[in-house]
Each structure stands twice: as structure tokens, then as C-alpha cells.
Amino acid sequence: MSWISRSSPGTRGGRLRVVGNLPYNISTPLLFYLLDHRAAVEDLHIMLQREVIARMAAKAGDSDYGRLTVMLAPWVSIEHLFDVGPGAFTPPPRVWSAVARLTVRAEPAFPVSEHFGAVVAAAFAHRRKTIRKRIARSDQPRANRGSGLDPGARPETFPPEAFNLLAQKIVDRRQAPEPSAPAGKSAMTEYRRVLLVVDLSEDSLLIGRRAQAVATALGAAIDLLHVVEICAGGAHG
């Protein structure tokens, strides 16, 4: 399909209108390949398993909402047109199919951060975990404050643009100058990793505050937080 990359509006009669019954095992990479060349594509009318179409067209808060929904959202608007029963095929499959229309947006729904995909992948790696548990600990404080997102909420409740905002805030946080040492204390910037020994029965927020206090005193940032438990036989990670 390399010819797609050579197509452009005004050639071959205009932008492409793609129609197809997509094989399940290649549907996702094929969709994103086409969207990489979206300047040459007007819309797509595709048939897939009904469950996949449901995920593509889902809204935030729906049970089918997930990574595929969010990754497609900046580039296309999606309409679930109709279902196709097993009796339409010979031999009949065991699953229902559905047809959807994907209309390529003239402009992305929002300016897409280069880290958008990575944040979405991390957020949906374990669906039942909250954003707080999916985003790296060192990225959380400023990212959560700047994005206005509830770190205790699950990712399937956030609209697509929220993940992009979170990605941008993480980038801003990483590009920000390192914190300076408190007045009267010399900065020891060679300290980049903090080891904090705590009792695991203590509250995790208290652990985080202690780690941040140690890092600030050293004039360092927390790149990795090791939490260990003190036992009779020694410390165990």
C-alpha cells in the first residue's frame, strides 16, 4: 500500500474513500497506517467484529472505552452505522460484525503531544488501576496539579484530550529546572536517586512526603523510589 503515501488531494480524482471488511488480526495496524497518511484519505467505511467497533465508537465512561478509542479520537470522528449478523456470511462465523464510518478530521481534535501515545498506553495497561498508580511517581505531583485531573479516578472516565493534557504537563515538568537547595545548604546535585527505608504499615502518602523532603534537602529529584521493609533478618525490597 505504499501508493497511499504518494497520493494527495487532487490526484486520482481526489482524496481516498476507503471501504473494506478488515481482518481482525491486522485491523489496528492497518487503521493507524491509513491515519499516518490521513492527508490523502477522506473517510473509511469498515466492517469489523462488533466488539471492536463498539470500542472504537465508545464515549468516556462507557464499558467499551479504552486505549483504541482514545488513540483514534484526535484524528477521526467515528459513527457505528449498523450490525451484521452471522447469517450474512457463508459459512456463518460465531461472532457478529458491525460497520462504522471514520471521517478524517480537517484538523486534529486537539494539538497532540509527542508523548500522548505513551501516556495512553501506560494509563490503560491495567484498566482497574487509577491514574495515580499508572503514571510514574516522580511525574505525578506537578502533572496532576497542572492538568486538573483527579489522580484517584480510573482512566476510562477521562476524555481523550485529558490524556494529552497530562502528557504535556509531564513534559513541562521534566523540562523544568531542577529545584535549588534550601538557603544555607549546599546543593549536592550528584544525588539523583533516593533510598527511603520505611515501615510498610505507614501511609503511602506519608512515605512520598518523606521522600520528597529528603530529595529537597539534597537538591535532587526523585528518579526512583525504593520502599523496603525492615525485618528481623534485615531489609527486604
Are 231 and 200 within one domain?
yes
Q: For residue 202, give the amino acid letter.
A: E
Are 25 and 85 within one domain?
yes
188 is a domain residue: no
Angle between helices 160-175 and 116-123 (to 10 degrees): 110
DSSP E strands in 117-224: the ranges are: 194-197
- Rounded CA-CA distance 180/57 in Å is 47
Of 80, 104, 128, the position where a domain reaches its end is: 104
Dihedral pair phi/psi, residue 139, rounded to 5°: -90, -15
Q: Supply the range of the domain harboring residue 151.
A: 116-175
Number of domains in the chain: 3
Of 104, 124, 140, the position where a domain reaches its end is: 104
Mean pLDDT in consecutive groups of 10 residues from the start of the chain, 237 residues:
51 84 90 93 97 96 94 97 96 96 97 91 74 52 52 84 87 56 48 47 58 62 48 45
Q: Supply the pTM of this predicted model.
A: 0.65
187 is a domain residue: no
Are 205 and 164 within one domain?
no
Q: For residue 137, give the amino acid letter.
A: R
Residue with cell 476507503: 18
Are 199 and 136 within one domain?
no
For residue 33, what is the domain's CATH number?
Answer: 3.40.50.150
Enter the DSSP assignment of 115.
Answer: T
